[in-house]
A and B are shown apart, each in its own frame.
Chain A
Amino acid sequence: MTDTATAAAATRTGELLGIDNLSVSFHTRRGVVKAVRNLNLNIREGETLALVGESGCGKSVTAHAITRLVPMPPGVIESGIIRFRGTDLLSLPEKEMRALRGSKISMIFQEPMTSLNPVFTVGAQIAEVFITHEKLGKKEAFARAAELLNLVKIPDPVKRAKSYPHQLSGGMRQRAMIAMALASPEPGLMIADEPTTALDVTIQAQILQLLSELKERVGMALLLITHDMGVVAETADRVAVMYAGRKVEDAPVVDLFANPRHPYTAGLLGCQCSAPSNRNAARLTSINGSVPDLLTLGEGCPFANRCDNVKDECMESFPDISKAGEEHEFRCHNPIPGPGASI
């Protein structure tokens, strides 16, 4: 079943990034941490895919695996294929991989306060990308950097290009990071690892707005890593939900919000202040229990210990993929019934 599903995904037109059966572990002193297990994921050209889950569920590890920036050791990519426009990234020589990083696959991180180098000007850091990938001269690269700062709506871009990171606010730094990620002639995929988590709410909205706008304008795909369902609803085309290293559900955003099939997805949606169950409620709904230790995880469904729908078989095996529509997949032995279902 898995094989047919991945084959279908691969042949589907317009695939930009395809991840098949990716497993990433960390070999620590306490044992082997299986951070990502048998992950399948695909992103089409120009699409926004939101990768959702709690801290430590493997979202960021997945992002780092795509750019091959997982620290090795202790990290080990146990299995899997990551295709970017048909090329397998995991078997690519380091030099060719480096040529992709920052030009066709770029990344922005959660902490704008620490993601820029404190001893270089913002402009110089953005210019570095042009110098690295397009072999531009310093002056020209710097001028291009200022143009990009203008594109991400930083006022007085020429002056700001000469500023050091500590002279900019958090929101401005995140804009500068976005500018840096755009510093490429043909960006294909931007990976945004919780880009708004460290910012306050009004700035969050501005940054998301900016990301969506730029995505349209440049025609790139966006892999948005977040734990905020509100952000997902506003920006994503499709959503993949991860839990303890496994992908548990994958659906277009409308489907997922309307008909979550996996109990964990339903739980995440139920935690939102705006969820129907929380309207006028004295307390917000929460998911009972806590995330299992990835060191001691067995073969069963990792969510079993917290799940309201748990059955005996949940403890023994991780379920296969079930389909709830053309693009809606989930893995659950005892899913929440879909609309019009007679289960």
Chain B
Amino acid sequence: MLKFILKRLVLLIPTLLGVITLVFFMIALAPGDPARVMLGERANAEQLAQLRSELGLDQPLSKQYLLYIGRVLRGDLGKSIVTQQKITDELSARLPATIELAITATIFASILGIVLGVAAARRRNSWVDYSTMTGSLVGVSMPVFWLALVLIMIFSVGLDLLPTGGRMDVRLYFKPITNYYLIDGIIMWFREGNSDYFVSALKHIILPTVALGTIPLAIIARTTRSNMLDVLNQDYVKTARAAGVPEGKVVFRYALRNALLPVITVIGIQFGMLLSGAILTETIFAWPGIGKWIYHSIGARDFPAVQGGILFISFFFVVINLVVDLLYSVINPRIRLK
């Protein structure tokens, strides 16, 4: 097992180098002069040249590239043009909000998706099956920004049940402890016996979770259904039934464990996509995470910030894929032992 992990870690190196390269050239070759953007239209040639040399933009592209790799390896993503803060600090301040939302959305999508998928497979060609599959087709086809706005219109504006945006009611002031507000809310609950923080954090996260989780939910439900249908026809399911194992155990222990193998890969990829693809959702719900920050950085032509943000998210995506692979090998003995 240790050997397997080491092997996967070594394979991570070329992948990450590839990501760095892609991100660097994507930004470096994009039209527009960063120095001009930073200094504005009225800057003179001398000022521009000075800033270019400060940023290393006067060097040949190949040298810039090597310098960039060197900096990234040292964990230096540069400074934001707009705020003059280190990009790593900006990212780490916003990361908890993004992760929190991605986790709740993944949990929402996985649990509901697996339950619906199994139900649809067990009652194939019944109304449960048809409505689940139609619903998931609609879910997959729905643009996130549209769904988010509809959710706000119904639950915030219409029914006035849930807030339109933010992470917590502004009237509830508190000093974040872990920066994961749901966890902070629970801590405050224990510490002060006041559940308001937790309830508020929960209310704020519901709509973004549903908006962000709907597409993964639909994908997971469909994948679970088709895998479950396949597995329920396998000989070993027949063997378990012939051995008198109760039907519930046959479905949820013997069949589901096999059917979930591919689903777990899907969930992992979806989780990675949620981390990177939450730009629209975070922007609409004013969720102060990395997605919203990248959106604003793009608007402000903050090149180092965009570069750093994309690089960071890509790293995250690659690492999460690795974790999923390792997890996969834990539940699938055929991979582990080869």
Contacts and interface: CB of A to CB of B under 8 A. Distances in A.
B60 interface: no
B243 A177 contact: no
A98 interface: yes
Nearest to B234: A114
B222 to A, nearest CB: 22
Given A111-B235, A114-B235, A119-B257, A69 B333 contact: no
Contacts of A67: 242
A69 B241 contact: yes
B243 A180 contact: yes
Nearest to A63: B242
Nearest to B331: A119
Given A117-B258, A119-B257, A164-B334, A98 B244 contact: yes
Interface residues of B, number: 21
Interface of B, secondary structure class, is helix
B242 A69 contact: yes
Given A114-B235, A117-B236, A117-B254, A129 B244 contact: yes
A132 B238 contact: no
Contacts of B261: 119
B299 to A, nearest CB: 49
Contact of B337 (A103, A115, A119, A167): A167
Given A114-B234, A117-B254, A101 B241 contact: yes
A100, A177, A180, most chain B CB atoms within 10 A:
A180
A99 interface: yes
A128 B240 contact: yes
Given A111-B235, A119-B333, A128 B258 contact: no
B333 A164 contact: yes
Nearest to A109: B235
Interface residues of A, number: 30
Given A69-B238, A119-B331, A101 B243 contact: yes
B334 A166 contact: yes
Interface in B227-269: 234-236, 238-246, 254, 257-258, 261
A129 B249 CA distance: 12
B332 interface: yes
Contacts of A99: 244
A177 B240 CA distance: 11
A149 to B, nearest CB: 16
Nearest to A111: B235
A123 interface: no
A115 B245 CA distance: 15
Contacts of B240: 117, 128
Interface of B: 234-236, 238-246, 254, 257-258, 261, 331-334, 337
10 contacts: A103-B244, A107-B242, A111-B235, A115-B235, A117-B236, A119-B258, A119-B331, A119-B333, A129-B244, A164-B333
Give the top 6 A-B pairs by smallest Cβ distance, nearest first: A102-B244, A102-B243, A101-B244, A107-B242, A117-B236, A114-B235
Interface of A: 67, 69, 98-103, 106-107, 109, 111, 114-120, 125, 128-129, 132-133, 164, 166-167, 177, 180, 183
